[in-house]
Amino acid sequence: MTGSEKLVLSRGDITEATTDAIVNAANQGLVGGGGVDGAIHRAGGPEIMAECDRIRAEKGGCPTGTAVVTTAGRLRARVVIHTAGPRWKGGAKGEAEDLASCYRACMELAREGGHRSVAFPSISTGIYGYPVEEAAEIALSTVAGHLERHPDAFDEARFVLFSEADLEVYKRALDRLKEGSPDSA
């Protein structure tokens, strides 16, 4: 079984995900914000921000490409994994590696925590301006690679896309990933 077989794409609101862990597209300061970050904090309640405050006091925040874990508060998930994605600066400033690092760090924290299912938004493609087409390729290939390296650790990695347009981009990227898989020959 390839890692891409455990990838699931859906359109919806990530705050309603029933996976063990959900990923928050946070900022480096873990201070809350708009988009996915704001939605998760609003739906999850003040417990999430209280833990972000503690992490910020202990570690200074969440540098780009890293991730931290908090409670999920009132969300259905057990935990929220916060990651700070890169801002798009044209593609020649290490953005691709930073974005891949976000997904790797999240998958590693989920695996270490025994969380068998994880839901991701499209990290960095909102206000941070990362082109969705490029982000989808990086996201799906990075997560599929982690699933292949740890086949018994996960049941599912779900990408919850807010718009139909983003979902279509991710579907095409997943089709290309599956076409390139050694098991598809």
Q: Assign 2 a pLDDT band (cuts: 50, 70, 90).
A: low
Distance CA 118, CA 185 (A): 28
Q: What is the mean pLDDT of the chain?
A: 95
**Does pLDDT of 10 surpass 60?**
yes
Q: What's the whole-model pTM score?
A: 0.95
Q: What's the confidence (pLDDT) of residue 182? A: 58
Q: What angle do CA 66, 147, 108 make, to 5 degrees?
A: 25
Q: Which residue has the tokens 């309603």?
A: 16
Summarize pLDDT for 12-50 with one digit per residue, the tens: 999 999 999 999 999 999 998 889 999 999 999 999 999
**Does pLDDT of 110 surpass 90?**
yes
- DSSP H or E segment with residue 78: none
Summarize pLDDT for 118-162 with one digit per residue, the tens: 999 999 999 999 999 999 999 999 999 999 999 999 999 999 999
> Which 8-state DSSP code applies to residue 4?
G
Half-sphere exposure of 129 (CA within 13 A, CB side): 6
Question: What's 48's domain CATH number?
Answer: 3.40.220.10
Name the residue range of residue 56's domain: 3-184
Q: What percent of the chain has pLDDT over 70?
A: 96
Q: Has 37 been annotated as catalytic?
A: yes
Distance CA 182, CA 124 (A): 29
Q: Which of 13, 20, 37, 98 is catalytic?
A: 37
Q: Assign 3 a pLDDT band (cuts: 50, 70, 90).
A: confident
**Does pLDDT of 180 surpass 90?**
no
Q: How many domains does the chain have?
A: 1
